[in-house]
Amino acid sequence: MKQMRKKDWSHELTLAFAAPAPKRKEAFLKTMPVPQLDPRGFFFTQLQYIRKRTWIFSIFILLACIGIVRFASDGVCWKTAALLPFLTLITTTEFARSTQWNMVELEMSCKYSLSQILMARFLIFGTVDFLILGVIIGIVSTQSEFYLLRTVLYLITPCTMTAALSLWIIRRTPRNESIYFCAAASAFISIAHDLAGSSGAYFYHPDLLPVWEFLCLASVCFLLKQGKELLSSARKGQLLFIH
């Protein structure tokens, strides 16, 4: 008995200190306040509700880009750039979920309302896409015919353009249609890269660099603006699409 371990002592002492069962526990517990989910907790639940397929497709695109770098003999830059709009498409469709499935009204009336949900998704996908893009840029730049900054420019622009367009579409188009328009926009940008890139080197001619710089800057600004407008629309109930 003296060789009892700590958990045996715990057990025996629990018995020794036992008290008669409390009689008013349930009634009292009902009056207790309910614990709150803080913003950090809310953010993590939103993370959990991102569809698995979004992550899977994103990884797939990443692998495809790696594949291009590995196996393509030339034109690594435009080939990758043609794939990137689809990366953005996958992530921005997560923003259309609420309108697509008629959850807007319910989500708006909750403590953590629609605009906060969208904000959480911005943060999540902003970070994830930024990282994936960073990896892709890093890998592509090893094989790219251009120096790093130029590669960055050529790869970021299709992403930001697609994202900005998609957000604009989501804000303007009700329900299911928005996804199709987003897909069309992504396809358009992708095909443009395909055609222009494969037809010759004019697309990435150094003379056109200022045009690219302008496009890049403009699309980043447009993207930020669309993000802000989307949140504002969410708050005002414009995502209900009535009238």
Partner 1 sequence: MAIEIRDQYDKIYRYCYHKVKNAVLAEDLTQETFLRFFSQTSYSEIGKQLPYLYTIARNLCTDHFRLRTFDREKELPEDALEDVAQHRMIEQTELTLVIRQALHVLPEDEQELLLLRYVNELTVSELSEITGLSRFAVYRKTKTALEHLKTRLRKEDFS
Partner 2 sequence: MELYLNRVTKQYGNKIACDRISLRMKSGVYGLLGANGAGKTTLMRMICGVMTPTSGEITYDGIDVRQEAYRDVLGYLPQNFGYYPDFRVQDFMMYLAALKGLPKNPACERTASLLRLVSLEKESKRKIKTLSGGMKQRLGIAQALLNDPKILILDEPTAGLDPKERVKFRNLISRLGQDRIVLLSTHIVSDVEYIAGEILMMKDGQILHQGSRDEIIRTIHGKIWECCVPETNAEQLCTEHTVINLRNSGKDIILRVISDTIPRENAVSAEPTLEDLYLYYFQEEAEQ
By the criterion CB under 8 A, which residues form the site for partner 1? Answer: 1-2, 6, 9-10, 12-25, 28-30, 32-36, 38
The Cα 19–Cα 6 span in angstroms is 21
Q: Which does 107 bind (CB under 5 to 8 A by kind): partner 2, partner 1, none?
A: partner 2
What angle, rounded to 10 degrees, do the helices at 177-199 and 76-92 form? Answer: 180
Place of tokens 């960073």: 134
Please compute, for residue 93, the number of CA atoms within 13 A of its CA located in the half-sphere on the CB side: 23
Residues 214-243 that bind partner 2 (CB under 8 A): 235-237, 240, 243
The Cα 211–Cα 171 span in angstroms is 28
Find, among 97, 100, 66, the residue nearest to 83 by Cα. Answer: 66
Helix ranges, 49-113 (H) = 52-71, 76-92, 97-100, 104-108
Find, among 141, 186, 193, the residue nearest to 165 by Cα. Answer: 186
Least distance from partner 2 to the Cβ atom of residue 58, Å: 20
The reply to whether 129 sits near partner 2 by the rule CB under 8 A is no
Q: Which does 5 bind (CB under 5 to 8 A by kind): partner 1, partner 2, none?
A: none
* Closer of 2 and 243 to partner 1 (Cβ): 2
Residues 10-69 that bind partner 2 (CB under 8 A): 34-37, 41-42, 45, 49
Of positions 13, 72, 110, 184, contacts partner 2 by CB under 8 A: 110
* Closer of 70 and 236 to partner 2 (Cβ): 236
Residues that bind partner 2 (CB under 8 A): 34-37, 41-42, 45, 49, 97, 101-113, 117, 235-237, 240, 243
